[in-house]
Amino acid sequence: MWLDVENNAAFNKGGPVDGKAQNFITPTAFYMVWRKDWKPTYAAAILNAGMQIATSEFHSYNHNLISEMRVLF
């Protein structure tokens, strides 16, 4: 298991929110699942979950929960 902090931003051009930008910090936790006798030829799964937290004055949402599952092979 490991922890991560991501930063992402979106800049709007055109439309009703023209010129506005929003920024989010996303703390996440990852957990990797693999067989005990894991070899490079076996698949592994990575599960993660995090929450996007708005850090800019303008934002269209806040505290958005994100989850993901990746399969590595």
Q: Which residue matches tokens 């929003």?
A: 22
Is the pLDDT higher at 21 or at 37? Answer: 21
Reply yes or no on whether the pLDDT at 4 is more than 90.
Answer: yes
In degrees, rounded to 5, the angle at the alpha carbon of residue 62 between the alpha carbons of residues 60 and 65 is: 120
Number of domains in the chain: 1
**Mean pLDDT of all residues in 15-20:** 92
Reply yes or no on whether the pLDDT at 40 is more than 90.
Answer: no
**What is residue 34's predicted lDDT score, i.e. its pLDDT?**
82
Structural domain boundaries enclosing 37:
2-72
**What is residue 22's predicted lDDT score, i.e. its pLDDT?**
95
